[in-house]
Amino acid sequence: MGRLFGTDGVRGVANADLTAELALGLSVAAAHVLAEVGTFEGHRPVAVVGRDPRASGEFLEAAVVAGLASAGVDVLRVGVLPTPAVAYLTGALGADLGVMLSASHNPMPDNGVKFFARGGHKLADELEDRIEKTYHGHAAGQPWDRPTGAGVGRVRDYAEGLDTYVAHLVGVLPNRLDGLKIVVDAAHGAASRVSPEAFIRAGAEVITIGGDPDGLNINDGCGSTHLGPLRAAVVEHGADLGVAHDGDADRCLAVDATGAEVDGDQILAILALAMREAGTLRQDTVAVTVMSNLGFKLAMEREGIEMVQTAVGDRYVLEAMKVHGFALGGEQSGHVIVLDHATTGDGTLAGLLLAARVAATGRPLADLAGVMERLPQVMVNVSDVDRSRVASEPRLQRAVCDAEEELGTTGRVLLRPSGTEPLVRVMVEAADIEHARTVAGRLADVVKTTLG
């Protein structure tokens, strides 16, 4: 039996892998485990539940709410809001648990369940393991201890969530955005109302695209996974910059006034310099993953800023930040964590802070992004393979070693199974893009023939 929890909650095709029964059972299991570890001790427990606008989120939300209430947990249903909004509200409202229903950047048929602990932090691995074990125990026939009468949870809508979250975002900005024209691509996702509203309240002139979710069009040819529409809109409207979110808005990528991409590494580099200038970059260090471009490392070394690398996944970046007391971290994919203002990656906050730096310096985004030069990087996703055997196949390990020897000090290779999708990712960096493509293609072929 495979592990239910991946690097970002439990995900799968809604109503196939991720069923209403599974969502309900996981919610009850989470309530029981948190009760066992003392989270609910001495008070009536409260959970915040939100979702992105996927059609399947409607029945999955109902299942989660039913599961929590049946376990004696009161529920504040905040509706369609970004993942970082649910995390923030979990902390701000003093809730014991947060639940977000989203599959982030994945296609519309997928969905996921993500739990937050008290304070809005992601659950520790050991708690996820206990929840999964408890769930499987119940599925095998172990009965639940069910409250009755006044002991069952009560459910109410919390419509104030959007305003509370947007006010928080605007309130933490170092300066206003007056005079900037910004295009926001909300990916027809959870930030379709939040992100444009936040930029407008901060003083920017906003053009919104990808802001009309219908339950079926999330991430469909738009957002951070498809920057073409954003590039075109920025150029068409003569905007200063554009920002793109994914379906649950825990990511942000940007484009400059010419339509050129500004990725997560560049956003982190810009914010690192701004925070050091403001005296808020604790230990002058940024936490990033092994996927960060080599150009980021070289730029930070040149600027006298330290870099700590973690495994891929914003949860591991966050863990390093909390352990060492760092203020800034993130991923090339656009997860940017500013720990003084958020407990997880927050795409709207990252976009606002990036725009605030443009406004404060009067420099174009392209100029600010020039702090680092991205080395050519090629990513090949190999599907329909057994990703569990990546680290154990000798032929594959030999191919990686040969590639690393061929690239020498001018590049690197990273081979890893995806934590959220049934893929093996092959990443190659090299001084020359064609060389990177050749090596990546060769390695992808080995992955396919070895693990297929």
One domain, residues 349 and 425: no
Token representation of residue 53: 């606008």
- Summarised one tens digit per residue, pLDDT across range 241-292 is 999 999 999 999 999 999 999 999 999 999 999 999 999 999 999 999 988 9
Q: pLDDT tens digit string along 9-58?
A: 999 999 999 999 999 999 999 999 999 999 999 999 999 999 999 999 99
Residues 357 and 387 reside in one and the same domain: no
Q: What is the pLDDT of residues 175-191, one digit of tens each?
A: 999 999 999 999 999 99
Quote the pLDDT of residue 1: 45
CATH code (residue 279): 3.40.120.10
Annotated binding site for Mg(2+): 104, 246, 248, 250
Domain that holds residue 213: 163-172+179-369
Q: Is the pLDDT of residue 94 over 70?
A: yes
Percentage of the chain with pLDDT > 70? 99
Considering the domain boundaries, does residue 2 fall inside one? Answer: no
Q: Reply yes or no on whether the pLDDT at 199 is more than 60.
A: yes
Residues 134 and 204 in one domain: no
5 is a domain residue: no
Residues 386 and 363 in one domain: no
If you average pLDDT over residues 417-432, what whole number do you get?
85
Domain shared by 271 and 414, yes or no: no
How many whole angstroms separate alpha carbon 146 and alpha carbon 93? 26
| Alpha-carbon separation of residue 277 from 130, 215, 328, 341, 405 (angstroms) | 43, 43, 14, 18, 40
| Residue 229 within a domain | yes
- Whether residues 145 and 204 share a domain: the answer is no
Is residue 153 located within the same domain as residue 167?
no
Q: Which of 27, 102, 104, 333 is catalytic?
A: 104
Residue tagged 């170092």 (tokens): 174
Q: DSSP assignment of 35-84, as one string?
A: HHTTTTTTS--EEEEEE-S-THHHHHHHHHHHHHHHTT-EEEEEEE--HH
- Compute how many other C-beta atoms are within 10 angstroms of the C-beta atom of residue 346: 30
Buried b (16+ CB within 10 A) or exposed e, 163-200: eebbebbbeebeebbeebbbbbbbbbbbbbbbbbbbbb
Tokens of residue 205, six digits: 């002139």
In-domain check, residue 4: no
Q: What is the C-alpha to C-alpha distance for residues 127 and 263, in angstroms, rounded to an integer? A: 33
- Is residue 392 part of the annotated active site? The answer reads no
206 plus 345 within the same structural domain: yes
Q: How many domains does the chain have?
A: 3
Q: What is the pLDDT of residue 2?
A: 62
Bridge partners (DSSP) of residue 310 are: 289
Q: Do 110 and 65 fall within a single domain?
A: yes
In 220-278, DSSP assigns E strands to 241-244, 253-255, 261-262
Spatial distance between the Cα atoms of 257 and 345, rounded to a whole number of angstroms: 25
